[in-house]
Amino acid sequence: MSKNSRALLLVAHGSRRTDSNDEIRELTARLREQASDRFASITCGFLELASPSIPDGIQECIDRGAQEVIVLPYFLSAGRHVVADIPELVAVKQQQYPDLSIKISGYLGSAEGIPNLLLSLVE
Amino acid sequence: MSKNSRALLLVAHGSRRTDSNDEIRELTARLREQASDRFASITCGFLELASPSIPDGIQECIDRGAQEVIVLPYFLSAGRHVVADIPELVAVKQQQYPDLSIKISGYLGSAEGIPNLLLSLVE
């Protein structure tokens, strides 16, 4: 799959606090700075309370021509949102576009580097 | 401050799901594996729904002889819990033990390495 057809969608819970949602948008901009050579687009979506929704976020990627969408859950634990809600939303989109690949990557809390990152905060 | 008097307390929100709380306890064990040379103790506490509470977690550190306790918030955004709730709990303990140092480090979401860690999940 070439860079030009691969989209990255960071998905967060969403908050009533605008600042929290803006933190996600800023993080998305930082991802874009670091990895725009690897993805045709890097955007974000929210499970609730903010927009775009996850289905709308995936749709935007598809509308821009993505053949592959990687959904990256910005969640700390494998709770209901990670285990059920996000996969269900993705499955609906995948059924709607059977010729495209819509995959969910590991969630943030599952990353091997978490302990090192935490320790970097206390040095 | 020598290693022998410095305690690290990872604080998480806490969940009704036992598995989520156990994820935190497992993460704490991994931190302990990686940094036991730097801290006299590495333990965890929860804001709600699980134990020990944050005050009890701090107290345990003090009871074990810590002169300095570093509270590390395992939170993604600078919401009310990070900005108000945790600092208030820490302030009460600090007043109770004015001769000790009880500090709060940056929260997980503020770590510089977050974008790289996220990208490591999609490679």
Tens of pLDDT, residues A17-56:
899 999 999 999 999 999 999 999 999 999 999 999 999 9
Name residues whose C-beta falls within 8 Å of residue A100's C-beta, 6 or more positions apart in sequence.
Answer: A62, A66, A67, A68, A69, A94
Size of interface A-B (CB pairs under 8 A): 112
CA dist B107 and A32 (Å) reads: 22
pLDDT score at B74: 97
From residue B107, how far is each of B6, B45, B55, B82, B85 by CA, in Å?
Answer: 19, 14, 18, 7, 13
| Cβ <8 Å between A114 and B111 | no
pLDDT of residue B14 exceeding 70, the answer is: yes
- pLDDT bin (cut points 50, 70, 90) of residue A63 is very high
Closest CA of chain A from B80, distance in Å: 9
pLDDT of residue B3 exceeding 80, the answer is: no
pLDDT of residue B116 exceeding 80, the answer is: yes
- Crossing angle of helices B86-96 and B54-63, rounded to 10°: 30
Name residues whose C-beta falls within 8 Å of residue B77's C-beta, 6 or more positions apart in sequence.
Answer: A15, A17, A19, A20, A23, A24, B107, B109
Closest CA of chain B from A96, distance in Å: 23
| Cβ <8 Å between A110 and B120 | no
pLDDT score at A66: 97
Contacting residues of B for A35, CB less than 8 Å apart: 115, 119
Instruction: Note the helical H segments in B1-123.
Output: 18-35, 54-63, 80, 86-96, 114-120
Minimal-distance CA residue of chain B relative to A21: B77
Q: Which of A24, A77, A118 sits opposite B108 (nearest CB)?
A: A118
CA atoms in the 13 A half-sphere facing the CB of A74: 32
CA dist A115 and B44 (Å) reads: 13
pLDDT digits (tens, 9 = 90+) for B52-106: 999 999 999 999 999 999 999 999 988 889 999 999 999 999 999 999 999 999 9
pLDDT of residue B2 exceeding 80, the answer is: no
pLDDT score at B79: 86
pLDDT digits (tens, 9 = 90+) for B21-48: 999 999 999 999 999 999 999 999 999 9
Q: Which of A43, A76, A107, A123 to mutate against chain B (most B CBs within 10 Å)?
A: A76
pLDDT score at A45: 98
pLDDT of residue A1 exceeding 60, the answer is: no
Instruction: Note the helical H segments in A1-46.
Output: 18-35
Token output for B101: 């140092």
pLDDT of residue A108 exceeding 70, the answer is: yes
pLDDT digits (tens, 9 = 90+) for A65-93: 999 999 999 999 888 899 999 999 999 99
- pLDDT bin (cut points 50, 70, 90) of residue A3 is low
Provide the ipTM. 0.94
pLDDT score at B10: 98
| Cβ <8 Å between A118 and B74 | yes
